[in-house]
Each structure stands twice: as C-alpha cells, then as structure tokens.
Amino acid sequence: MKIRETEIQGLLVLEPKVFEDARGYFYECYNERLFSEHGLPAGWVQDNESRSAMNVIRGLHYQLAPYAQAKLIRVLEGAILDVAVDLRKGSPTYGRWSGIGISSDNRLQLLVPKGCAHGFRVLTKSATVLYKCDDFYNPRAERSILFSDSHIAIDWGIDPAAAVVSEKDLNAPSFAGADNNFIFGNI
C-alpha cells in the first residue's frame, strides 16, 4: 500500500496494491499490522456506510474532543469528492481544506485525522461510501460547519444552490461560529 501525504498534516491518501485478472480483482483495504507500523490509527471500532445520489453534499461533520474520530474513507460504488478541513488551532493549515476524488474505480482511501471536519460530494449517479471510525458516535459531541462557508471556500465543483443538502447541514454554523476544542499536537 502506498501512503501519500497531503498539505494537511495527518490527512493521508492510501493507495492499495490491486491484483486484477480475468476473474476480477482483489486488494487488501486494511491491515492492522501495516497501519500500526506506519503509526496510523489501527483500533477501528465502528463502520458506517451511506448511499447518496448525485450532487448530494454530506458534511462538514466532526466530534469534539475527547470524542474526536479519525476516519478511513473508501467508496464501494460510484465516485465522490472527499474533503477534510483542519480545525486544529495552532496547525499551519488551520482553517484550510484539502480534497481528493475517490471512486470504486481508483480504490483510493482517505485517512482523516482527529481534529478535522469531513464531508463529501457525490459525483456519479449514486455512490456508496464506507468509513471506519476509531471512536464511537457520540451525539452530544457531534458538530458541523456549513459546507458553503466563505471563510473555508471549498470548491465543490457545483453551485451551492444546486447541491442536495440535509436541513441539518444547511443550518450548520459558520467556521467562525462553530464549536471547536482541538489544539494542534494535542489530539
């Protein structure tokens, strides 16, 4: 597995080695030993799966510390633009976003570290997204940031008015108004 860094510390793109032949393909999408050897989260405790239609935007979601979650994202069907926003005060990339196209064809995975908000836009007719979390969902710690916040200025590749977004996500606070207790190097 190749591990590529992004401009946000701890936000990693994982590219598995895929074995293809006339029968189809095989690849190892997670190996606890390999993750541990590279200092990556290895204690996944919850898997989540979502299916969404084209132009759905989910996010930007996160949980406050001490319930913050690292997430390992992959796409089982379709394609998404997967985005993370650095919320760790004191980080050189605080308030910045990074995004990557992930699909069932390229089989890339995105490792989103604790202290980052996460969201995605569906680029195909539909997409099924699977993500592992290293801590359990805690509704009292759940927070979000408005996907179209001008301070972050994420290029979703779509007019925000044309995006399909939940009422909850449409009413999320701005980056400046969001609860955030993350300190860089302390998560």
Residues assigned a catalytic role: 61, 131
Q: At residue 152, what are phi and psi to the nearest 5 degrees?
A: -80, -40
CA 115 to chain centre: 11
Token output for 22? 């006339």
Token output for 148? 């179209």
Query: Which runs of consecutive H residues, i.e. helices, occur in 18-164?
Result: 32-37
Angle at CA of residue 184, ends 183 and 185, nearest 5°: 110
- CA-CA-CA-CA dihedral for 77, 97, 133, 179, to nearest 10: -130
Q: How far apart are CA 36 and CA 43, in angstroms?
A: 9
